[in-house]
Structure 1
Amino acid sequence: MLIPVQASAVEAACQDLNIPVSLVDVPLLGLKDQTMYGRLCVPPGGSRTLQVLVPGGTCKSDYYDPPDLSETRSFRKAVNKAGYATLSVDRVGSGRSSKPPAALLSASAQANAVHHAIQAMRTGTVGPGFDKIVLVGHSLGSATALIEAATFRDVDGVVITGFTHRIAPLTVTPTLVALGPAMLDEKMSKIVGLDPAYLTTVAGMRYSAFHNPGPFDQQVVDSDEASKDLIAAGEIVDAVLIGLVLPYSRRINVPVLVAMGEKDGVFCGPLASDCSSAESLRQGEAGYYSSEARLRTFVVPGYGHSINYAPNAPLLHDAVTGWMTEMVGR
């Protein structure tokens, strides 16, 4: 059973970090030529346990703390109030992180970059240093988290949201057709120039791509639209190959929690994952993880893909913080 943690009423102390990283495992001459932006938030009294939060494609770090929305949609604040520090990052090629040519980006390259950030946070090269680190991902960020944890085995737990090992062929189309070249987008073209491999969502498509069939909330959709960002085409390719086709997640040797929206149109439904209950989700995903993962699952009722925007998102937050207390600790 996942037990929610008592919250602290005092705000966390936050700072912006620019972490030197590389898209390769062992950089030439040790040079880290990219920068990963992260917002580090530490609860009052400090914490020796950190969650590194990796957003999905076309999202950036504020997915975990959406601007202009009620606190109930802030994953970051819920985790901080439960007594854990957070580092919400922008994937390389998005947000305030560096923007290399999109051809250099893949889910594996992002996993290398996240690995360098984790090492910096653990050793205190950047930030205060942490004894335990849990890697949290959403959607494409979950594929990156799986690859990182399976490759480097340098984290103490993994939280996967918005990602299973089966794509929903009958309902994924609205998400796929929402993507278009970023160079044709008025806002994003100023960032990527003429790089054809950077993608973003077409204006007005966020609800159908990521929230449907959850309740339509104009304020939520407007916030998500205003925060939309980039994804490189290459990130999608090996996220599918390594995250879905190959059972790479079986290499993960620490506790894993998988959380999905009941109505996620990207991964759930006929011919895909059964997300109707936590138990059906667990049964479908258990074969992709080792016994060391001690797999736990959770389902947010009634919502689509981007579950942190759900009106009942506090259920997700309680599930994650309860799992943290039980499986990882402070």
Structure 2
Amino acid sequence: MRFRLRRLAAAVALLCAGAVLVPVQASAVEAACQDLNIPVSLVDVPLLGLKDQTMYGRLCVPPGGSRTLQVLVPGGTCKSDYYDPPDLSETRSFRKAVNKAGYATLSVDRVGSGRSSKPPAALLSASAQANAVHHAIQAMRTGTVGPGFDKIVLVGHSLGSATALIEAATFRDVDGVVITGFTHRIAPLTVTPTLVALGPAMLDEKMSKIVGLDPAYLTTVAGMRYSAFHNPGPFDQQVVDSDEASKDLIAAGEIVDAVLIGLVLPYSRRINVPVLVAMGEKDGVFCGPLASDCSSAEGLRQGEAGYYSSEARLRTFVVPGYGHSINYAPNAPLLHDAVTGWMNEMVGR
């Protein structure tokens, strides 16, 4: 009898020990992240083979690794934090959702922003950014700055989407493109709040502390993030504060050819891989009267289909009820699910 009791006690202890291990196993499923500084250039063929700029990227790889990488390019006045906002619920983290779906991510700071190098603003354009992203993609394919990847999907937001469009159409070196917060029509009746939100970065209390910043760099005026990027979505002070704290730089030249090449010219028809376009239903920069129909995925698809080739097999998605910066929407998981579902179908792990 005593022997049986001892065996029972031992079994209970073993079960308890197993229960204690569960939290450790749960924490182990988090992606492994590392900071990368990737040598890049703003021109097609770097002078004498030298890459004279640095692009910062946060590489996160899910447990067990991944053969497929998403390169995440943020919009103007944003940096890599856009895809993983600090101090907010995980529901706003595009990066974590993608990692949990089994894909690696590289969230970059555009050259001239965040932790990337800051050349004279006159050197920066959407095309120059596309060249820099191209060099980063090549580095990730070959594994020269970290693990190599077999498939790469380029994901952009707003100005980052213009950069992604130009990169994919020019170099044709990716396996898919996700465009968010960008269509081929600007909304003339509602874009004004976003435009007037921009001002010289040197006059901004936070940005003016950046060493060597020249007058051609811009940022958003303090207190303008909601009206510029979130309106008419529900006002959430925590979200707005997080976005304001993470705001960064943009060079005026990036806007010029983003409009010329991304909007005016049918350059996106050169993209020869699957494309997903995702928009906020109430995006005041691109959607509304005299602009893109973002009231439904089908309306968006009909408006954008003519700008893409049949090879793009265009898919579209709309986040209901939110403005421009859809990753901050309370229903952002709808976007995350749409992107990972599209990835599973069109690209694969």
What's the TM-score once normalised by structure 1's chain length?
0.97
For residues 186-226 of structure 1, give each alpha carbon's deviation from its aligned partner in whole angstroms, at most 9, with x where no partner exists. 11112165612100000000000000000000000000000
Any idea what the Cα deviations from partners look like across 1:176-195, whole Å, max 9, x if unmatched?
A: 00000001111111216561
Counterpart contact for 1:49–1:85, Cα < 8 Å: yes
Indicate the SS of the match to 1:7: helix
Q: Which runs of 4+ in 1 moved over 3 A?
A: 1-9
C-alpha contact (below 8 Å) 1:5/1:322 kept by paired residues: no
> What is the CA deviation profile of residues 280-321 of structure 1, one whole-angstrom value per residue up to 9, with x for unaligned ones?
000000000000000000000000000000000000000000
3-state SS in 2 of match to 1:19: strand
Aligned ranges for residues 268-283 of structure 1 at < 5 Å? 268-283=287-302
State whether residues 4 and 319 of structure 1, in contact with CA within 8 Å, keep that contact through their aligned partners in structure 2. Answer: no
Q: CA 1:323–1:6 in 2, change beyond 3 Å: closer, same or farther?
A: farther
Q: Specify every segment of 5 or more residues in structure 1 that has no aligned partner in the other structure, as ranges.
A: none
Q: Residues 320 and 2 of structure 1: is their aligned pair in 2 closer, same or farther, counting only changes over 3 Å? A: farther
1:136 Cα deviation from its structure 2 partner: 0.1
CA–CA separation in structure 1 for the residues paired with 2:166 and 2:332: 26
1:284 aligns with 303
Is the 8 Å Cα contact of residues 13 and 41 (structure 1) preserved in structure 2? Answer: yes
Q: CA 1:78 to 1:295, structure 2 compared with 1: closer, same or farther past 3 Å?
A: same
Shift of 1:273: 0.1
**Map of 2:8 onto structure 1:** none
Structure 2: distance between partners of 1:148 and 1:106: 12
Alpha-carbon RMSD across the aligned residues, in angstroms, is 4.0
Contact 1:5 1:321 (C-alpha < 8 Å) held by counterparts = no
Structure 1 residues 223, 127: closer, same or farther in 2, change over 3 A? same
Q: What's 1:203 paired with?
A: 222
Specify the SS of the correspondent of 2:26: coil
Whole-Å Cα distance in 2 between the matches of residues 73 and 225 of structure 1? 15
Indicate conservation of the 8 Å contact 1:2/1:319, yes or no. Answer: no
In structure 1, distance between residues paired with 2:24 and 2:288: 32
Q: Could you say if the C-alpha distance between residues 190 and 143 of structure 1 is closer, same or farther in structure 2, counting changes exceeding 3 Å?
A: same
* 1:105-126 deviations in Å (ceiling 9; x for gaps): 0000000000000000001011
1:72 aligns with 2:91: yes
2-structure distance, mates of 1:85, 1:296 = 22
Cα distance change of structure 1 residues 20 and 259 upon mapping to structure 2, 3 Å threshold: same
Residue pair 1:7, 1:82 contacting (<8 A) in 2 also: no
Q: Is the 8 A contact 1:5 1:82 kept in 2?
A: no
Q: 1:4 to 1:234 in 2, by over 3 A?
A: farther
Instruction: Tell me the alpha carbon deviations over residues 38-71 of structure 1, each in whole angstroms, 9 at most, x when there is no partner.
Output: 0000000000000000000000001000000000
| Deviations 1:245-283, CA, capped at 9 Å, x for gaps | 001000000000000000000000000000000000000
Please identify, of 277-286 and 190-199, the stretch whose mean Cα deviation from structure 2 is larger: 190-199
User: Does 1 or 2 have the higher relative contact order (CA < 8 Å, sep 6+)?
Assistant: 1
**Structure with higher helix content:** 2
**Is 1:56–1:142's contact at 8 Å kept on the other side of the alignment?**
yes
For residues 129 and 6 of structure 1, what CA distance do their matches in structure 2 show? 27
Alignment partner of 1:76: what SS?
Answer: helix
Q: 1:161: Cα distance to partner?
A: 0.1
- 1:6 to partner: Cα distance: 18
Q: Percent identity?
A: 99
User: How many Å apart are 1:3 and its aligned residue?
Assistant: 29
Contiguous gaps of at least 5 residues in structure 2: 1-19
Question: Cα distance, 1:9 vs. partner?
Answer: 8.2
Q: Are the equivalent residues in 2 in contact too, given 1:55–1:141 (CA < 8 A)?
A: yes
The equivalent position to 2:51 in structure 1, one of 1, 16, 32, is 32
**Number of residues paired by the alignment?**
330
Q: Distance in 2 between matches of 1:133 and 1:2?
A: 35
Mapped partners of 1:5, 1:280: distance in 2: 47
Label 1:3 to 1:288 Cα distance change in 2 as closer, same or farther (>3 A): farther
> Residue 131 of structure 2: SS of its match in structure 1?
helix
> C-alpha displacement at 1:5, in angstroms?
24
Distance (whole Å) between structure 1 residues aligned to residue 236 and residue 31 of structure 2: 28
Cα distance 1:56–1:4, how it changes in 2: closer, same or farther (>3 A)? farther
Aligned residues of 1:69 and 1:223 also touching (Cα < 8 A): yes
The match for 1:124 among 109, 127, 143 is 143
The separation in 1 between residues aligned to 2:213 and 2:263, in whole angstroms, is: 31
Alignment match, 1:161: 180
Q: Distance in 2 between matches of 1:102 and 1:7?
A: 45
Structure 2: distance between partners of 1:77 and 1:2: 23
Q: What's the secondary structure of 1:88's corresponding residue?
A: strand
Q: Is the 8 A contact 1:192 1:198 kept in 2?
A: no
Contact 1:2 1:322 in 2 (8 A): no
Deviation at 1:168, TM superposition (A): 0.1
Within-5 A mapping of 1:142-157: 142-157=161-176
What's the CA shift string for 1:148-198, capped at 9, x where partnerless? 000000000000000000000000000000000001111111216561210
Alpha carbons 1:8, 1:81 under 8 Å: kept: no
Q: TM-score, normalised by structure 2?
A: 0.92
| Aligned-partner Cα distance in 2 for 1:5–1:133 | 31
1:58 aligns with 2:77: yes
Cα deviation per residue 1:56-96 (whole Å; 9 max; x = unaligned)? 00000010000000000000000000000000000000000
Return closer, same or farther for 1:248/1:4 CA change in 2, 3 Å cut-off.
Answer: farther
